[in-house]
């Protein structure tokens, strides 16, 4: 399967900034070799969608609701996202787990709702520094996988993506530390194996956490890294263009 590079713009850009950045990326010339997904904020989805139309880039959202419809004030239905042309949706990002107290039960419901609307969930999992230090990385990843994927059924391997994002390597965390590509690869090999046992499909497992043009080649050279989820470096047109060309 093609490598996939996903831009997570978080809540860093307004609508005009999102449109401008999307325009710069689209104007990069030539078709990109990896599959590229842009995930702007909800408010910028429509404007980015119109800019990237026909470019080969795909549209992603940064979250979606637990149900298609209902009394859930403030939530956004995966059905509406699909109707806007959204193909992918990031679910269970560590920032939502930390700041919005999202737990695995909620994330599990969101995955099922997204799948039922034809969206491809990008399930984020990753240990914190304390868990890594205690030698509990695999135990923790296993627990997150089992809980988030409980009862989840996918028709095809391409219907779901898992992003391994060690919380301690995400660039905006105060003490962010770089990960060695071999360490990421070992965690991803474990995730791939466990996810296959749970889902009975070999899904793509991508890496996220301070990915940039500097470490991209080394990360993507590892056999179990199927792509990258990029935060900070995806906000800089020149850096991100390097990553997708
Ligand atoms: P980062 O963010 O690339 O800035 O570390 C990745 C993410 O949080 O998805």
Question: What is the Cα 69 distance to its own chain's centre?
Answer: 24
**Ligand 1, from 171, 184, 212, 243: best to mutate by most atoms within 8 Å of Cβ?**
171
Question: What is the Cα 195 distance to its own chain's centre?
Answer: 16
Angle at 10 between CA 234 and CA 42, to 5 degrees: 115
Nearest CA to ligand 1 atom 3: 231
- Per 3-state DSSP, the chain is made up of helix, strand and coil in percentages (nearest 5) of 45, 15, 40
Integer angstrom CA distances of residue 242 from 54, 163, 179, 213, 236: 20, 21, 21, 6, 10
Specify whether 93 is catalytic.
yes
Residue 181 has what pLDDT? 97
Residue 30 has what pLDDT? 55
Specify whether 98 is catalytic.
no
Please give all residues whose beta carbon lies within 6 A of any atom in ligand 1, as ranges: 8, 165, 170-172, 208-211, 229-233
| Cβ neighbours around 29 below 10 Å, total | 7
Q: How far apart are CA 212 and CA 221, in angstroms?
A: 14
Distance from Cα 179 to the centre of ligand 1, integer Å? 13
* Atom number of ligand 1 nearest to Cα 173: 5
Q: Please identify which of the residues 35, 102, 165, 222 carries the catalytic annotation.
A: 165
pLDDT in tens, the chain (245 residues): 789 999 999 999 999 999 999 999 998 655 657 999 999 999 999 999 999 999 999 999 999 999 999 999 999 999 999 999 999 999 999 999 999 999 999 999 999 999 999 999 999 999 999 999 999 999 999 999 999 999 999 999 999 999 999 999 999 888 888 899 999 999 999 999 999 999 999 999 999 999 999 999 999 999 999 999 999 999 999 999 999 98
Residue 245 has what pLDDT? 87
Beta carbons within 8 Å of 22's beta carbon, 6+ residues apart: 38, 40, 47, 48, 51, 52
Q: How far apart are CA 43 and CA 48, in angstroms?
A: 10
Residue 78 has what pLDDT? 98
* Atom number of ligand 1 nearest to Cα 212: 3
**Ligand 1, from 13, 126, 229, 236: best to mutate by most atoms within 8 Å of Cβ?**
229
Residue 111 has what pLDDT? 98
Residue 241 has what pLDDT? 95
pTM confidence score? 0.97
Q: How far apart are CA 166 and CA 188, in angstroms?
A: 11
């Amino acid at each position: 399967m093609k490598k996939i590079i996903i831009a997570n713009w978080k809540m860093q850009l307004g609508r005009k900034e999102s449109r401008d950045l999307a325009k710069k990326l689209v104007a990069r010339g030539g078709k990109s070799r990896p599959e590229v997904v842009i995930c702007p904020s909800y408010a910028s989805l429509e404007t980015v969608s119109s800019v990237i139309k026909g470019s080969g880039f795909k549209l992603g959202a940064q979250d979606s609701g637990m149900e298609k419809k209902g009394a859930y004030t403030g939530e956004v239905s995966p059905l509406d996202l699909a109707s806007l042309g959204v193909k992918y949706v990031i679910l269970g990002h560590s920032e939502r787990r930390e700041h919005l107290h999202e737990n695995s039960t909620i994330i599990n419901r969101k995955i099922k709702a997204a799948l039922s609307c034809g969206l491809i969930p990008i399930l984020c999992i990753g240990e914190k520094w304390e868990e890594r230090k205690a030698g509990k990385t695999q135990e923790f990843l296993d627990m997150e996988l089992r809980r988030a994927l409980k009862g989840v059924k996918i028709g095809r391997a391409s219907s779901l993506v898992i992003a391994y994002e060690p919380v301690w390597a995400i660039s905006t965390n105060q003490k962010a530390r770089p990960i060695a590509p071999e360490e990421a690869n070992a965690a991803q090999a474990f995730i791939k194996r466990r996810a296959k046992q749970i889902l009975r499909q070999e899904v793509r497992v991508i890496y996220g956490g301070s990915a940039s043009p500097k470490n991209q080649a080394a990360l993507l050279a590892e056999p179990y890294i199927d792509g990258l989820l990029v935060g900070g470096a995806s906000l800089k047109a020149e850096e991100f263009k390097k990553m997708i060309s």
